[in-house]
A and B are shown apart, each in its own frame.
Chain A
Amino acid sequence: MKTEAQTLDEIMDLAAQHFKVPRGKLEPDEDFFKALNIDSLQALDLLTRLENHFHVEMPDYELQGVTDFRTLANRIQARL
């Protein structure tokens, strides 16, 4: 079982790689829409990739109101 810190790290790794943003520039509590320069559809696209990576399924509404990596990690961790 992954720790929450590992989950968070892997989310940021994947986001950085997918949206071609330097990994070092991402912070856990940062607004990922701004940090990755993405809109809400691209955020859903990221969610699909995270689902595949962590082997979980999350409804779209799980992303409603979530804007930082840490909260996203919490939501994913709860389903691992």
Chain B
Amino acid sequence: MLDLRQYPSLGAALRDALEHWPNETCLIEADRDKEKTRLTYSDFKELARPLTRALQDADFREGDRAAIIMSNQSKWLVSAYAIFYCGGVLVPLDFKLTAAEHLQLLAHCKAKFLIVEYYLWRAIMQSPSFKSHGVKTVLVTESPLRADLGGAYRWEDFHRKGEPIFIDRQRDDVACIVYSSGTGGRPKGCVLTHENYLEQCTSLTAWYPFWPGVRYLSILPTNHAIDFMVGFIGPFVCGACVVHLRTLRPEYVRDAFVRYRISYMSLVPMVLKNLERGLKAKFDELPPAQRFMLDRMIALNKLLTRRRPNVKLSRRLLGQVHKAFGGQLLALFTGGAFMEPSTLQFFYDLGIPVANGYGLTEAGTALTLNDFEPFRADTVGRPLPGVELRVLSPDSEGIGEVSVHSKTVMSHYLDAPELTAETIVDGWLLTGDLGRFDFTGHLQLFGRKKNMIVTEGGKNIYPEDIETVFEGVPVKEYCVFAANYVWPAKQLGKETLMLVLRFDQNQQLDTALLDDINARNRRLADFKRIGGYLIWDRDFPRTASLKIKRTALAEEIGKSAERSAVVSL
């Protein structure tokens, strides 16, 4: 691994990585069962060079911002490398947002360049607000040769001969602007520095090292903080290989483990549960004698790995299970959303450790991670090296808001000094998450102080961001809340959003109104939808400027109504 302490920027570290392991494979891209691309570090450099030069010739300069909107694929990494090489600032946008949301965030971050996949660019071009976008140059990947790109260039043709000039940045310069939310009018663009990423990479690889030959399976999009670190920066500065799978279809994910002999993979709870369901279904199909033997072996493995994992031993005891995962798997990573302890325990008992962690965009990738010394399924692990965590104002059970001091904490929110001042106080980032440390120093989470949910797919959803879809619904007033914010549950999981409705005088709930709400709800992406509604019989408290006082309203509802009053949609 490169000694990251010696590097001032991600660009410098990545540039040296390409020189350091020229003949090692760094990237494989597969679509279903077909391999599309295989690159060594040297090939990667050759592919990035003409793009980088063309960016510089198109006046992409130090500190300029370039956004990437792409699904999981190798061109994401090549483009990001080129941006860093030019001293630029990368803005990774979530490709699952709508075209209107993409345009809103592009305007907010004032991106000068955009690199985008063809099908996403088509949607953006068809958006009513398309003409007002202020991006100077757009590069579109995988577009048909004669497609109308609305003035954009084909990524594949955007080449210039000649050696690009490497522009270095300092540790405290901005590396990325990552949006943690903000399509509802209050964009939260986390400004992360090169130091944030270099420190995060150092601490993560101290616990989970990569080396040449190690293969990381990437199914999360690289705009996801975990994949950016564990599926790009981490493996590259260690000479390891990233395998991009361009589909999430379970059968191909399972195939990829075997075909590419995967060592590590990050996944969200939804994918892990899917793997669990698949395995359990296979176990249930076994003839009784084989099933009996399997259960005995699992019990033995559980006993022998009680204190710490022993992957080699588990591979011997449960050979068939490990063979189905390629036989080289070291660990799976998950985090960001609530993970059922029983699922983590299921995999641990099979000798497949799942390192459950906790982090937030504002603090880089991860703050805590399970180190398996010992395994604790009901926690999100211990603070990573260099991360200081405190529990503020703990209650009688020791539960309070988690705050963090670390070199991985963002510099600020883009163009939002007040929001920054509310979030980072005296150098400590207030996470809005409620937790406590157990007697072994592992962090347990118990819910959120903030009004938001995290889905099983790892998406942060803020009520303010989805409220606009209900604009015009024929009621006196309405508001969206995370149910656990109104009725603190002291636990994670079962997170849902609810719509609070205040009717006009004499108004009653009727089918037309319910149909209207359902239709609006369905306009939202499936993971953003509200789960139910609550009819409220008092006017909402409002500020002098008529904004809803959300905290006061939540408290009022929490005190006067039961959670059971929420009607499921």
A31 at the interface (CB under 8 A from B): yes
* Residues 175-194 (chain B) with a chain A CB within 8 angstroms: none
Residues of A contacting B270 with CB < 8 Å? 39-41
Contacts of B525 in A (CB 8 A): 65
Q: A60-B247, A64-B96, A67-B526 known; A40 and B71 CB under 8 Å?
A: no
Q: How far is the CA of A64 from the CA of B247 in the complex (A)?
A: 12
Q: How many residues of A contact B (CB 8 A)?
A: 17
Q: Let me know if B249 and A48 touch, CB within 8 A.
A: yes
Alpha-carbon gap, A40 to B458, bound state (A): 13
A48 and B522 contact, CB distance less than 8 A: no
Chain B: minimal CB distance from A68 (Å)? 8
Return the chain B residue nearest A61 by Cβ. Answer: B119
Which residue from chain B places its CB closest to the CB of A60 in the assembled complex?
Answer: B247
B contact residues around A47 at 8 Å (CB)? 249
Q: Are A40 and B250 in contact (CB under 8 A)?
A: no
Q: Is A35 an interface residue (CB 8 A)?
A: no
The interface bits of chain A over 23-59 (1 if a CB of B lies within 8 angstroms of the residue's CB, else 0) are: 0000000010100000111101101100000000001
The verdict on B297 contacting chain A, using a C-beta distance below 8 Å, is no
A65 to chain B, nearest CB (A): 7
* A61–B251 CA distance with the chains assembled, in angstroms: 17
Q: Mark B87-103, 1 if CB is under 8 A from A, else 0.
A: 00000000010100000
Report the minimum CB–CB distance from A60 to chain B (whole Å): 5
* Interface positions of B from 270 to 286, Cβ below 8 Å from A: 270-271, 274
Expressed in whole angstroms, the Cα–Cα distance for A47 and B457 within the complex equals 19
Interchain CB contact (< 8 A) of B274 among A31, A41, A60? A41
Q: Please name all residues of chain A whose beta carbon is closer than 8 Å to the beta carbon of B248 when the two chains form the complex.
A: 40-41, 44, 60
Cβ–Cβ < 8 Å partners of A59 in chain B: 119
Instruction: Report how far A44 CA is from B274 CA in the complex, Å.
Output: 12
Q: Roughly how many angstroms separate A59 CA and B251 CA in the complex, as a whole number? A: 15
How near does chain B come to A40, taking the closest CB pair, in angstroms?
6
B250 and A41 contact, CB distance less than 8 A:
yes
Q: Which residues of A contact B250 (CB under 8 A)?
A: 41, 44-45
For B98, B119, B249, B457, the residue with the greatest tally of chain A CB atoms inside 10 Å of its CB is B249
| Contacting residues, chain B, for A48 (C-beta < 8 A) | 249, 251
Q: Is the CB of A39 within 8 A of B456?
A: yes
**Complex interface: chain B residues within 8 A of A68 (CB):** 522
Q: Min CB distance, B449 to chain A, in Å?
A: 27
Note all chain A residues with C-beta closer than 8 A to B119: 59, 61
Q: Which residues of B contact A (CB under 8 A)?
A: 71, 96, 98, 119, 246-251, 270-271, 274, 456-457, 522, 525-527
Q: What are the 7 tightest A-B residue pairs by CB atom distance, in nearest-first order?
A: A44-B249, A41-B274, A33-B526, A60-B247, A39-B270, A61-B119, A48-B249
Could you list 25 examples of A-B contacts with CB < 8 Å? A31-B522, A39-B270, A39-B456, A39-B457, A40-B526, A40-B527, A41-B248, A41-B249, A41-B270, A41-B271, A42-B274, A44-B248, A44-B249, A45-B249, A47-B249, A48-B251, A60-B71, A60-B246, A60-B248, A61-B119, A65-B98, A65-B525, A67-B522, A67-B526, A68-B522
- Known contacts A39-B456, A45-B249; 17 further A-B pairs (Cβ under 8 A): A31-B522, A39-B274, A40-B457, A41-B248, A41-B249, A41-B250, A41-B274, A44-B247, A44-B248, A44-B250, A47-B249, A48-B249, A60-B249, A61-B71, A61-B119, A65-B525, A67-B526
- A-side interface residues toward B, CB under 8 Å? 31, 33, 39-42, 44-45, 47-48, 59-61, 64-65, 67-68
